[in-house]
Amino acid sequence: MNTINLKKPELYNNREISLLEFNRRVLAMAEDKDVPLLERLQFMTIMSSNLDEFFEIRIAGLKQQVAFSSVQTGPDNLSPFDQLKRVSESAHQLIDKQYKILNEQLIPDLENAGIRFLRRTRWDEKTAAWVRRYYTQEVLPVLSPIGLDPAHPFPRILNKSLNFIVSMEGKDAFGRNSGVAIVQAPRSLPRLIQIPENIGGGTYDFVFLSSIIHAHVADIFPGMEVTGCYQFRVTRNGDLFVDDEEVDDLLRALEGQLPSRRYSEAMRLEVADNCPLDIAQFLLSQFKLTADDLYQVKGPVNLKRLITLYDMVDLPALKYPGFKPGIPQNLTIGTNTFEAIQQGDILLNHPFESFAPVLEFVRQAAADPNVLTIKQTLYRTGADSSIVNALVDAARAGKEVTVVIELRARFDEEANIELANKLQEAGAHVVYGVVGHKTHAKMLLVVRREGRRLRRYVHLGTGNYHASTARVYTDFCLFTCDPDYGEDVHKIFHQLTALGRQGKLKKLLQSPFTLHKTMMQFIEQETENARAGKPARIIAKMNALTEDQVIRALYIASQAGVKIQLIIRGVCLLRPGIKGVSENIIVRSVIGRFLEHPRIYYFLNDGGESHLYCSSADWMDRNFFRRVETCFPIEDPKLNQRVFKQGLMLYLADNTQAWILQSDGSYKRSTPGKSQPKMAQQILLEELA
């Protein structure tokens, strides 16, 4: 009998610290010499983008809790105030390390490869003349400097924009001498400018926009003596507040909220490391921030913009080798997708296998005169989506097209509003899901007349209907015309678009109704099997594990002897390897060329058929209880084994790109040692692409 209190705070990692640990693993890829150089820089920019969102959403949430004197805590029992202090310390350390890697490793390595960032001190006369012409023709005409005085208060600073605070002495033509001005770099200007080869002498010589403005800042304020120029950047609260209960039209409400995100409450201030303390404190006071919110950086304050370098440099040796995603023989171009699905279920493993068959399926459905109805969920699809274009064509052709668009897909709200309007104008039925529940399920239903009967075709996936992310996210999807799957998906669409209770599903599990309950039952069954002396095993792969009931159930299962192997890319509140609690649990995170994204759950179920499910849901409170999610079994024996091997076993065997979670919440990178190096993603590329 278990006598350990499984609610003890020391049994749980903090969610925010765990998220920073994930970014620490991403940053480690930037200093991995086995990763191609430009890809290392990409990982650096990815971490910057992740941290922007971390401050916009996670830190914003904590600050709001502190402001309202909230005492709400997570399983680790840390108050919002204590979390902010710890997160600030960890984030400062992480960002300091990021710039150290940039300055001491990446920039020198890039220069050795012929890619140079030319600072002002390195400009020869020819380069300086070219830069001055560029400044005069391209930069100066769009600058709007603002001298601070009673008639010119501190300007509104756009979220994540590049800005400069300039100190100066002297008086202008009107006798003003406030001594401080703000220069905002327009977002229309590139942050990285390539210098022509005949000017700089190198094929890939670049100059930062910040360097150009620094070099010519005195020209902006003629007659004044500029004594200092320091770049800064502010990150603001990125969450949108829309009260579902008070809103009649969600789309219009979100449209009204979007502009406010650009100038909402400040969360973080980044300044150049040479910025004097009095100026930094002046900026902090303008943004109502404290010293804990100040990040002094040795380099550009907007590292995310370095992502443009990747496409500007044509040096294949510095990038991952190109590959062509595989296409199953029964889905090659020209194949009738409906006839292929009739022959049996079809599984795709993206990005190793192409996303093109999914696009082709929707195109064929739109053009097929026998197709009567198309229903689809859209969470993130991209600004120019081939799938949306096909749905528009179907609607214009007179087919019944119903699209459930999740308008509140964070940072994609504007694009999704545009998609909604485009589809409605074409005659499609567009709905926005269920009040209080995000529609996160990935499903597509096509109803086709075949002779005297109607047949339902279904596509279910673990990832979004987004062609671009399908090239860099790993995900599974399933095509089937199994009647039970078709009926289940049909019922879920009715739930989303109509009213009433649709009845029990036959094959699929669904949040917020059956998914959590069933997962708990499966875990408990493995626990009972272990107690009875039977083999018991759980393998689960997901992006995050935070739901405390599931974690406690896993602890109990571990105590009973269940072998538990978890592959969790990001946040994990569970702590493995604690004596008497989680000794039978191993947690690993795989960080590689592609972003791991599928959710796969496996339960041995000794004495019966094992359970293997793919899903759109992580094991998080929001996914179980506040979202509409789907979870579908892989029943075809061959496909079942494919998912088990490709999605789970290869990753459990990875000894090169896997990180093992320690009982103190830190991660240790796995190494091959004397064994043969194994990288799951590379093996899948070789097998499938």
State the catalytic residues.
440
Maximum C-alpha span of the chain? 90
For residue 618, give the 3-state DSSP assignment.
coil
339 in Cβ contact with 631 (< 8 Å):
no
Nearest alpha-carbon partner for 367 in 346, 396, 331, 328: 396
d(CA 91, CA 228): 28
Q: How many CB atoms lie within 10 A of CB 311?
A: 8
Strands 204-208 and 115-117: parallel
Which residue has 């756009």 as its token pair? 158
Strands 180-184 and 294-297: unpaired
Calculate ∠ Cα 439-444-448, nearest 5°.
145
Nearest alpha-carbon partner for 519 in 485, 488, 542: 542
d(CA 602, CA 583): 19
Amino acid occupying residue 297: V
d(CA 63, CA 268): 11
d(CA 210, CA 199): 20
The alpha carbon torsion through 167, 171, 175, 176 (nearest 10 deg) reads: 0
Cβ-Cβ contacts under 8 Å for 342 (sequence gap 6 or more): 481
For residue 163, give the 3-state DSSP assignment.
strand
How many Å from the N-terminal Cα to the C-terminal Cα in the chain?
A: 50
d(CA 457, CA 361): 10
422 in Cβ contact with 389 (< 8 Å):
no
Cβ-Cβ contacts under 8 Å for 377 (sequence gap 6 or more): 403, 404, 405, 406, 439, 441, 442, 443, 444, 496
247 in Cβ contact with 172 (< 8 Å):
no
d(CA 632, CA 466): 20
Q: How far is CA 165 from CA 188, 243, 313, 323, 580, in A?
A: 20, 38, 32, 46, 57
143 in Cβ contact with 164 (< 8 Å):
no
Residue 645 has phi, psi (to 5 degrees) of -75, -55
Question: What 8-state DSSP symbol labels residue 404?
Answer: E
Judging by beta carbons within 10 Å of its beta carbon (0-12, 13-18, 19+), is residue 234 exposed, middle or buried? buried
Element (H, E) at 215: helix 209-220
